[in-house]
């Protein structure tokens, strides 16, 4: 897969990135910078592209 490809993201992650990107554009960022911020934010929240099934990294604190 090419570097920068968004193929490995789920539809939910892509949707979140679109909303973040629109918000960044509205605040005056360029389209390229807004997209960069959007996917960086999605990566930070979810730990990257598609993840599913047992053992998925939890975004919040671990269970005790």
Return d(Cα 40, Cα 13) in angstroms, integer. Answer: 11
**pLDDT tens digits, 39-62:** 999 988 887 766 665 555 666 665
- In the predicted structure, residue 11 carries a pLDDT above the cut 50: yes
With contact defined as beta carbons under 8 Å apart, do 39 and 15 qualify?
no
Q: Are 22 and 37 in contact (CB under 8 A)?
A: no
Residue 1 has pLDDT above 80, yes or no: no
Q: What is the pLDDT of residue 60?
A: 64
Q: Is the dihedral of CA 33, 47, 12, 6 positive or negative?
A: positive
């Amino acid at each position: 897969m090419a570097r920068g490809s968004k193929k490995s993201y789920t539809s939910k992650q892509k949707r979140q990135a679109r909303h973040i990107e629109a918000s960044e554009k509205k605040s005056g960022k360029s389209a390229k910078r807004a997209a960069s911020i959007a996917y960086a934010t999605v990566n930070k929240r979810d730990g990257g592209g598609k993840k599913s099934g047992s053992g998925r990294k939890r975004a919040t604190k671990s269970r005790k």
